Every structure is written in structure tokens, then in C-alpha cells.
Chain A
Amino acid sequence: MPLMEIRGLSHIYSAGTPFEKKALDAVDFSLEPQTTVGLIGHTGSGKSTLIQHLNALLKPSSGTVVFDGQDIFASKEIMRKTRFRVGLVFQYPEYQLFEETVYADIAFGPKNQKLSQEQIDIRVRGAAQFVGIDESLLDQSPLELSGGQKRRVAIAGVLAMDPELLILDEPTAGLDPAGREELLRNIFAWREAREAAILLVTHDMGIAARCDRLAVMAGGHIVMQGVPGEVFSHAEELQSLGLDLPDASHIALLLRKKGLPLSDSIYSLDVLRDELLALWRKGGAAC
């Protein structure tokens, strides 16, 4: 059974005013447990609107969202409970920090869950560890940390609620390459340890290539989905939607245009290298 199932989801902003805008149009989508799904699409394609429906922050104009066999909009009670089970990390989450100490800020979610003091303590320390925030930082003001550390603290604040599905909107935007890599590793390690599912909104095709599955959004629709190899094999279609390709797919596409018989499902540099070596060993004419 899928962990989350979205059927015919539509959302219209400012309905009935001159600014009316259809952000989502009959989206069907499902998420399997314990997978990492990448959601890619151009700015304004409806990604952010979609993810805010998944933890009941936005109510759909029509359509349903079923999480773990339950309609999440069934009652206020269920909507609120869903917010703890489906953790949502917004873009630039560091702007939501407000408590006096890092510890108190991470504890905000678990406190709202009405957990006991000991449980909160375990959750806070566990979450801080997952994102690589040192124990010594827990008593500092979150506003004094560096940008990258703030981002980690904010993500820890959501991890501390122990969600079964974690949704991240561009978690690495504005981080340097080293910080980006470390954050991703932390998040993937958390997924492994928690056996949770992740939905990752990203513009970075290098990150998308590391997901188990991908969904591509354009104009309020999901226009493509499948494993990365499948999705990236539609290289030219992706480009026409204004999306990048992973470096390896891009190189392979250009080489194919030059007449090299490379397969169209290449998206990692290792596979590209192996295929090129195989061609070279066969003594292919073009090489």
C-alpha cells in the first residue's frame, strides 16, 4: 500500500478575484514507504503548492490526499496530527527560528506534540546529532549561528517530531558545495535509520539523480515520473521545460547528437565512463 496517495488534487489561489490562478490541476501522485522521491520542476510549476497540501497546510479546491490509509482533511484533529507525521521543511527554514536557545527551538515541535520532558530531550539530542549540530551549540542563541548552522537547526526542528514522511523544499539552496554534500548525507542517513520516506523538492539535478524516483512538474501538472534513468532519458523534453540535466546526461546527449551509440538512460558519470570505455574497446568508428 502506498504511504501517501494524491488523487485529482487541484488548487486555485484567490478564487473569484482578478488574481485567480490555478496552481495545481488534477494532480495524481503516490509515494511508497521508505523511498526518496525527487520533485523537480521550473519555478512556478506548482511544487511548493503541492507539498503544502501533503501536511494539510493548504486545503485543496478539489481532490484528496490519503496518508497511511486516512484522508488527512477528514477533521481538524487529523489535520493537526498529520502535521507531526508528515514533516515539512520550507525553503530557507532558518528564517523560522525564534527561541532563545538552539535546544528550545528544536524542542518546539516535540513540545507541541505534548511529549514528556525525557522524550523531548531524547528527540532534541537525536535530531541535533543527525544534522551535525554539536552538543555545545545547544545552549547558544540560534540567531548567533552561521547561515549553514541555522539551516541545520531548523531542519533538526522538524526531524525532532520524528515524521514518517519528510518533505524538504530546496534544502540545500544557498549552501556551499561542501555544506550541501554534508547536509544531504545527513538527511539520507536519517532516512535509513528511521526507515522513513523523503520527498525532496530540488532544482539541482545532481541531487535529483540520487533519488529513488523522480516526478517532474510543469504548469500545475505532473508531466513525467519514474526512476531517474527513465526520466532523464527524456533529456530534450526536460530541457524544453527549462530544466537542467545531470552533467553525465548532458554529456551523453551531446555525444549522441555527434553519433555515438550511447544509451539514453545515462545519468551518472560512472555509467557514462563505462559505456565510453566499452565503445572504445570495441574500436568504435567515431572514437
Chain B
Amino acid sequence: MLKDITLGQYFPGDTAVHRLDPRTKLILTVVYIAALFTANNWFGYLLVFAALAAVMIIAHIGPKAVLRGLKPLIFIIVFTAILNLFFTAGDDYIFHWRFIKITHTGVHNAVTMALRVMLLVAGTFLLTYTTSPLAITDGLEMLLSPLKKLKVPVYELSLMMSIALRFIPTLIEETDRIMSAQKARGADLESGTLIDRAKALLPLLIPLFVSAFRRADELATAMECRCYNGGEGRTRMKVLKMHRGDAVAFLLGAALMAGVILLRRVSL
């Protein structure tokens, strides 16, 4: 079922991680990614992994949920690993047969690349697992608001983003429903040649587009009925405020980054 897609799904909760300001979480996610790509040896990765595990434990997010999120990406991870394995230049061969060459550097690159991608995705999933989409957009808007001076339409962008996020579950549900309805009329979405399958998508896509346009129209009307006219002078229902916890989180984030930089000097 499409409903089981966990990509970017929010798991409501009331832990220290859930309560953090979305801005803090956004910045710390960037710090985490930077730390991940700064690390250059096993100690560094271990530290990053420890940070990830600690946040998972505090946020009560089980390894199962994170692994399920990684599932759709297995192909990409395996693909990058294989590319690195076979196409890394070097002379330190482990295995050499005609045009197939595997080098020590290749193995090392393949493993670290796969590790990095997995840690990267798992970390960003933690953000979306513990922060509601609306909070994320609010946080992004606040973080980007200095760009307003450069005439970047930050408010409109964040409105578009929150509307898009708001409608993802609706559209997934709708797709599910139309799919069921067409299957009930004998539509076969799973077998046949590639062209057959592309054709079989039409009965799904056309009603989906029709209803998306209808919804957009209705939403625009509803917004106009309530005299919506852009971001100028609007107040918010939930005013974002930093707390002590956020300060602690920033300190920990700085510690992670510092730790990774120090560990770069350690050589195996």
C-alpha cells in the first residue's frame, strides 16, 4: 500500500527532541551533515553514528522505523557502492581479472560512501520523524527571512511548501482510492510490457490531475473568501521561541563538530 511509505513522515511524540525549536533542529541537521562529510576515518564515523543513536534513543525512534525509511534507497546505496568498488583508480589491487579490477581504495571508498549515504538519510529522517511538516516550514521561513531584503519571496515560498506538504497525504490517499477503483474495474497495473504499464497509468493519472486541479481551485477560493492577501503584517498562531534545551542542543552540536575535526588527526 502507498500509505506505508514513511518518507518524511512525522511520528508525534513529546520527547526532548520533539520539543526542540524547529530552527534548532534544521541548523543541527546541517551541522550533522557537515560533520558526516568532515569525518575521514572510522573514529569519526563512529562518533557521528553515536550522535545519531543518542538522538534516536532520546526521541524514542526505534531502529526499525529508520531502517524502513532506508528501504527505498537500497538501490541507490548499492549502486554507488558498486560504482566505487569497480571504478576507483589505483594500483593496490586485491583482485584483477581482465577488465575487472578491485583495489583497496575502491573497497574503502565503497564502504564509506554507503555508510555516508545511510547516515545522511537516517539523520535527515530523524528531523522529519520528530518535527511536524508545518513546524519545519515555519522554521525554514524564519531562517530564510533575512533573504527578504534581497527580494526573495520567502513568505510565498514557505506557503507553497506548507501547502505542498499538507497535500501529500491527501494525494496519496486519493491515488490509493483511484487505484482501487480502477483495479475494481479490472485495471492491471502490475503486468505487461513497459508500454502496457505506462498506458495502464492513464486511468490513474487523469483522475488524479483532475482532482488536484479541483482541489487547488477550491483552496484558492477558500483563501480569497477569508481575505487572504499575502504575508505582509500577518501574525502567527504559534510563535517560535528558543528555550534552554535549544542552547544545550547547540552546544552538543558544536561538540560533535569539534570532536569530528579532532578525530581527523587520528590516523589508523
Contact = CB atoms under 8 A, between A and B. Distances in A.
Interface string B163-203: 00000000000100110111111111000000000000011
A80 B11 CA distance: 36
A205 interface: no
Interface in A102-143: 108-109, 112-113, 143
B207 interface: yes
Interface in B1-60: 3-4, 6, 11
B65 interface: yes
Interface in B131-183: 174, 177-178, 180-183
Contacts of A97: 207
Given A14-B4, A95-B211, A97-B207, A55 B184 contact: yes
A96 B181 contact: yes
A18 B68 CA distance: 13
Contact of A143 (B174, B186, B210): B210
A83 B203 contact: no
Interface residues of A, number: 28
A60 interface: no
A90 B180 contact: yes
Quick one: which of B178, B181, B187 has the most chain A CB within 10 A? B181
A131 B4 CA distance: 37
Contact of B206 (A55, A90, A98): A98
A21 to B, nearest CB: 11
A52 B180 CA distance: 9
Contacts of A95: 174, 177-178, 181, 207, 210-211
Q: Which secondary structure characterizes the binding site on chain B?
A: helix
B183 A57 contact: yes
Contacts of B177: 90, 95
Interface residues of B, number: 25
Contacts of B206: 98
B251 to A, nearest CB: 30
B186 A96 contact: no
Interface in A232-278: none
A112 B188 contact: yes
Contacts of B183: 57, 83
Nearest to B209: A98
Given A17-B68, A18-B11, A96-B207, 10 more contacts: A17-B65, A57-B180, A87-B184, A89-B184, A95-B174, A95-B177, A97-B207, A108-B203, A109-B185, A113-B186
12 contacts: A13-B3, A83-B185, A90-B177, A95-B174, A95-B178, A96-B182, A96-B185, A97-B207, A108-B185, A109-B186, A112-B186, A161-B185
